[in-house]
Structure 1
Amino acid sequence: MFGLQDINIFIVLSLCIACSIFCVVYGYRNWNKGQEKEKDEMTEELLWEQTEDKINNVL
């Protein structure tokens, strides 16, 4: 069929295909994961910069 004369070659080929499918599914499920945390960090940084600007204006 694909030149699979040995069972070891078939196993390696099957594992490569299974790993590729797993990577695609894992990437799809975790595509935007953690984005909410990034938004929280950005708002916290913005508040930090605003308070720092107020302190610098007072000084």
Structure 2
Amino acid sequence: MFLGISDFSILAVYFLCILSTLACVVYGLYNWNRGGEEDIQELKEETK
């Protein structure tokens, strides 16, 4: 019994939710400002 949860499947889902949240945060931080420069260049070309 860990954290008051006796069923392994519920415990596995609990930890998978936490791990997926952490993975999404890491992915978001890694890709925070990617691709922004290309968009600015495209906008300048369109305004010309």
Report the TM range for the smaller structure's normalisation.
0.7 to 0.9
**TM-score, normalised via structure 1 length:** 0.72
**Which structure would you say has the larger RCO, counting Cα contacts within 8 Å and 6 or more residues apart?**
2
CA RMSD after TM alignment: 1.0
Structure 1 unpaired stretches of 5+? 48-59
Structure with the higher helix share, 1 or 2: 1
SS in 2 for 1:20: helix
Identity over aligned pairs, percent: 43
Structure with max Cα Rg? 1
Aligned length, in residue pairs: 47
For residue 43 of structure 1, what is the aligned residue in structure 2? 44
Which 4+ stretches in 1 moved above 4 angstroms? none
**TM-score, normalised via structure 2 length:** 0.85
